[in-house]
Chain A
Amino acid sequence: MALDIEALRAEAQDLIKAAKDMDCLSQIRIRYLGRKGELTSLIKNIGHLPQEERPKFGERLNQLKLALTREIDEKQEAIKKLSAKTGTGLDLTLPGIRPERGRKHPLTQILEETYHIFTGLGFKIAEGPEIETDYYNFGALNFPDDHPARDMHDSFYLGTDNLLRTHTSPVQIRVMKSQPPPVRIIAPGKVYRRDADITHTPMFHQVEGLLVDNDVSFSDLKGVLTSFVHQMFGPDKRLRFRPSFFPFTEPSAEIDISCVMCMGKGCRVCSQSGWLEILGAGMVHPNVLNEVGYDPEQVTGFAFGAGVERIAMLKYGVDDIRLFFENDIRFLRQF
């Protein structure tokens, strides 16, 4: 019998909650509280109970009756208030007037998040020109003279010696040449390469970082990048540092994170490997330190770089890089 009461209560409350109009409510009232209603019939049945259970059961029934009566009354009021003819004459079901807001570009959002993370780690945001000389873009960064990136085929040239920067690394050189160590900077910005397909656009964004001081080590690089990845992609992401090659760092590393789509199990996005390449990094090459007038015996440093589009694509699940530059409102609105 006790179970009956609870079941009845739950059933009645669900119905009341779902009721949309007065008709519906009055039917509920009749069904439970009417003279032949379900609650009423339970009360009538009280005589079948053993003598000692009757008072308790009776009281519970009474409470339920009061509760349902109250809830039906309240709902009735609510329905009344919402219907058009209220005291104030307002139709409260009309949609509210919302202020309109725009959106920052998703790449800006990633960049701002990146600034937030790195300024918190003591990095300053440095900027540099997008038109660079061969020296700052390649020479000072220990690129050999015949490196393929120096080719007309891979980079946009404006004159024999001037080109659109192919990475934001020249900012490292400019900053180091302008000040003594310690240096802690990130250099965000647009970069340009002669490439156009589903995964490449001729312009894209990079964030580079540089930390130079006494006693900076590869383990510090691991610490800083782990912190970045955990803040950007979540602390559940695993990182993998594996050896790689860049002219301006040594030892160099590529950094993979466990796949954001399949959590490392292997899927189409990570080519079944469970890993996604997300950063390039390494210890600043002594030739670069010498080039800017720092003494590699006194200071060491690390540098890293990441593609902003790549981060955004992985973080938001965007599958075509070109969407970032089409500027379709229906795309921008999603972020």
Chain B
Amino acid sequence: MLIGYNWLKDYVKVPFSPQELADRLTMIGLEVSSIEVFQKGLELCKVGRIEVISPHPNADRLSLCQVDVGEKKLSIVCGASNIKSGDKVPVALLGAKPPRGTEIKKASVRGITSEGMLCSEWELGIGDDHSGIMILPEDAQIGMDIAEYLKVSDTIFEIDLTPNRADCLSHLGIAREIAAMTDQIASLPEIRFTEEGGPIEKMIEIQITDPSLCFRYAARIVTGINIAPSPLWLSARLESVGIRSVNNVVDITNLVMMETGQPLHAFDYDLIQGKKILIRPAEMGERFKTLDGIERSLDPTMLMIADANHPIAVAGVMGGMDSEVTEKTINILIESALFNPKSVRKTSLNLGLSTEASQRFERGIDPDGVLASADRATQLILHIAGGKPAKGSIDLYPNPIKKEPVRLRAKRVNGCLGLNISSKQVYNILKGLSFKPLSPAGEDMVFIPPSFRQDIFGEVDLIEEVARFYGYDNIPTTIPSSKIPMGDKISKGQNLEYVMREILVGTGFYEVINFSFTKKCLFDIINLGVKEGHCNLVEIKNPLTEDHDTLRPSVIPCLIQSLVFNLSHQNRDLKLFEFGTCFLTSQCSETGCVEGKSLGIAMSGLMQGKHWRQPDIDMDFYDIKGQIEFILDSIGVKGYLFEMVNNHGLAEGQSLKVMHKGRQFGILGRLSQRTAVYFDIKRPVFVAELDFDYICGISEYGRHRFKAIPKFPPVLRDMAIVVEKDVPFQRIIDLIREEGGKLLEDANLFDLYSGKQIPDGKKSLAFSLTYRSSEKTLTDKMADKVYQRIFKRLKSELNAEMRVK
């Protein structure tokens, strides 16, 4: 909403500078987002005085003027003959762009430099006379902006109105707020004119078919007007708030709308057929050409203004071409109405047409201002375009809107705001805002809201008004005395997420955050979704782009995209993770979807950044497996197992699922060739995904139980065996543990080798074994016994041999 600072002064005294006013409006909830000076294109045009005028040395028809423009004196070449020294004239300075004409630049005219231009009325856009320079009266002040001198300049505020303040979509509305803060009453200039014409009832018949769609309809008729371009002040005012000037009558209807907030429409009276106006819904398939020249197809959801034969306007939205006011118009009918806001909104939406008028109707206008606005427009038309007003006005208002009284308890005001102000102060604030008290100031008060406020329904609305004008800044700052509810402030899951992040970051991982939606086809390539029992993807009905049409069931595809983004920017060694919500359809939820949190991991490149001490080690399968083991062990997840898995997104033979009590809660592995090709990745990538919600249920993080530190020393033994290559490690370690029994405290693989010295098809594994008894000091002999037992078992079951050094 654009509001002119000087314009406001027509309705209220403004005892503030523009900046001050902007600050004050902002602090009562009318946020001024910008302040700009409007000069109607007359920037850098000043009042100047010709001090000396002399003939141009090189041209007979030109003269050379020394002009005083206040801060400096300029030398200007001029071709006009109507000037003499001592004249005050409009001067366009260098850089000015007068409304008619081009930008003024320093120029040499026949060898003499000219530092500006003396202007005619035509160049300034204020008249058609370009026969000579405009001579200003003697009292014009040298150096003054021409725009200011002509009273066409203003300071324009852009106000970001909140949707509840429809009453402030006008200068009068803003003026009322200024009045309330300065103890004044804002009002329109006095409206007075003589109704010289015949009675209006004889000239037009108006009928509302459905009073629930049109609450009030007022009209005036003016005959014998003279349509012409608007005077300068009028077109300047409209332009200053972004409205194009059309002609005097149309401009006046727009001016009054910007003044009072009431949209008006002027019809060419002679084009209203049958001298009858009907406010009715459109008929199915009816066609109508709006003022913008577009022919539109109508349907019964749209409310129309029609004459005896066909529609002449879309109610509250836009008028029609066929009844438009043109230069041929002599008699006009001015419409001022109050349409049902919902009906206008629907009409505007269905037509795809939003106008200054429709926006105001949708948000609600002042029912009591309808006729006054028609009168105000009539007055201005008589003044500017002449004519005779018909006697009387039409004002159909079948069911007058009454404001309900609203109760206000002073105690509630103070309680809600944390104040201790008197009921008298509360009373005065509301009275100043035009709320009509039905009771004296006191503990329990009743007010009737003013007709222009559509946003006041209950006590809390009044409290807000008091707060606005008491000033939010004047409300004290306190610490709540209310009870702090018992219980943990952070849930187990939130804490676990924090701990897992710490672990990942501590081991070199970077956290990424991706959008929750991506393109559906990605999940044909790779879908590691680890939620059990659901399978369908959740699709967005109205995605912004195809790339965002599906809610992800797994974080991995997005994580791979993050990885690809980094690879393409030469970021090579990457360890990424993401905690994200994943979505799938479900029959048994309110919304038809289930969501849960997943942890995704993706890594590629060197395990550790290049360094002088160690050779480069590329990440491999064991890094992602180890990472998952490390995380799970660190957060007290016990009893998990890895099992082989087939997932087409992952490389066969390089992927595992993570199981707990027969249920899968994770997956890990190397990206399959196909996936890598799809994402155009040339190097190995390893990914894993864990069902965070499931982990939360089984994690024993923080539940540590102390175990006595062993009293007796351990015995350490290494064992190196050679077995067939295809014997899995798990098999060997299981046997070692089983046979080692209670005395075997730990068995750790420290070497794995095949090659020279080892027969073909075989591999060597070396374990360090720790034996310990909790009851006594183990002797070497006892340890050796266990050692032998283990080896015997390995030999008999796996055909293992002791490795000979």
Task: Give A contacts to B, CB under 8 Å.
Answer: 94-95, 97, 99-105, 107-108, 112, 115, 119, 122-125, 127, 129-133, 146, 152, 156-159, 162, 164, 182-184, 190, 192, 194, 196, 201-203, 211, 213-220, 222-224, 226-227, 240-245, 250-254, 271, 283, 285-286, 300, 324-330, 332-333
Contacts and interface: CB of A to CB of B under 8 A. Distances in A.
A123 B489 contact: yes
Given A164-B551, A286-B459, 15 more contacts: A100-B608, A108-B501, A127-B491, A129-B591, A131-B583, A146-B342, A156-B543, A196-B544, A201-B515, A202-B517, A211-B482, A243-B472, A244-B162, A327-B565, A327-B576
Given A124-B488, A130-B581, A105 B513 contact: yes
A237 to B, nearest CB: 14
B598 to A, nearest CB: 13
Interface string B695-733: 000000000000000000000000000000000000000
Interface in B531-582: 538-544, 548, 551, 562, 565-566, 569, 571, 574-576, 581
A202 B477 contact: no
A84 B697 CA distance: 56
Given A97-B613, A159-B592, A190 B581 contact: yes
A122 B482 CA distance: 10
Nearest to A254: B31
A102 B480 contact: no
Given A123-B489, A158-B541, A217-B418, A329 B505 contact: no
A223 B480 contact: yes
B478 A223 contact: yes
B566 A324 contact: no
B475 interface: yes
A130 B485 contact: no
Contacts of B418: 217-220, 222
A127 to B, nearest CB: 8
B615 interface: no
B593 interface: yes
Contacts of B540: 156-158, 164
B513 A324 contact: yes
Interface in B400-421: 415-419
28 contacts: A97-B613, A104-B505, A124-B490, A129-B591, A131-B551, A152-B541, A157-B542, A158-B541, A190-B581, A194-B542, A201-B515, A202-B544, A214-B482, A217-B415, A218-B467, A218-B475, A220-B480, A222-B478, A223-B477, A223-B480, A226-B477, A242-B29, A244-B162, A245-B163, A245-B165, A251-B463, A286-B460, A327-B513
Interface string B1-36: 000000000000000000000000011110101100
B595 interface: yes
Contacts of A190: 516, 581
A251 B468 contact: yes
Nearest to A252: B464
Contacts of A112: 498
B508 interface: yes
Contacts of A226: 477
A170 B538 CA distance: 21
A247 B592 CA distance: 28
A102 B505 contact: yes
A105 B416 contact: no
Interface in B404-442: 415-419
Interface in B474-512: 475-485, 487-491, 494, 498, 501, 504-512
Contacts of B565: 326-328
B257 to A, nearest CB: 22
Q: Shortest 7 CB-CB distances between A and B: which pairs? A: A219-B418, A243-B29, A217-B418, A245-B162, A213-B482, A122-B484, A327-B512
B461 interface: yes
B611 interface: yes
A219 B460 contact: no
Contacts of A203: 515-517
B37 to A, nearest CB: 14
B542 A156 contact: yes
B467 A101 contact: no
Contacts of B566: 327-329
Interface string B589-620: 01111010000000000001101110000000
A300 to B, nearest CB: 6
Contacts of A283: 416, 460
Nearest to B574: A329
B514 interface: yes
B239 to A, nearest CB: 24
A220 B416 contact: no
A43 B270 CA distance: 119
Contacts of B467: 218, 243, 251
Contact of B571 (A219, A245, A250, A329): A329
Contact of A157 (B345, B501, B541, B581): B541
B415 A202 contact: no
Interface string B241-283: 0000000000000000000000000000000000000000000
Given A124-B485, A286-B460, A158 B591 contact: yes
Most chain B CB within 10 A, of A132, A213, A285, is at: A213
B458 interface: yes
A129 B575 CA distance: 29
A242 B514 contact: no
B187 interface: no
B58 interface: no
B593 A217 contact: no
A102 B542 contact: no
B128 interface: no
Contacts of A133: 590-591
Contacts of A333: 510
Contacts of A254: 31
A268 B24 CA distance: 22
A132 B593 CA distance: 10
Interface string B283-304: 0000000000000000000000
Interface in B148-196: 162-165
Interface string B216-244: 00000000000000000000000000000
Nearest to B566: A329
B473 interface: yes
Contacts of A271: 33-34
B482 A125 contact: no
Contact of A332 (B162, B511, B541, B609): B511
B419 A300 contact: no
B489 A122 contact: yes
A115 to B, nearest CB: 7
A183 B473 contact: no
Contacts of B611: 97
Contact of A251 (B464, B508, B538, B544): B464
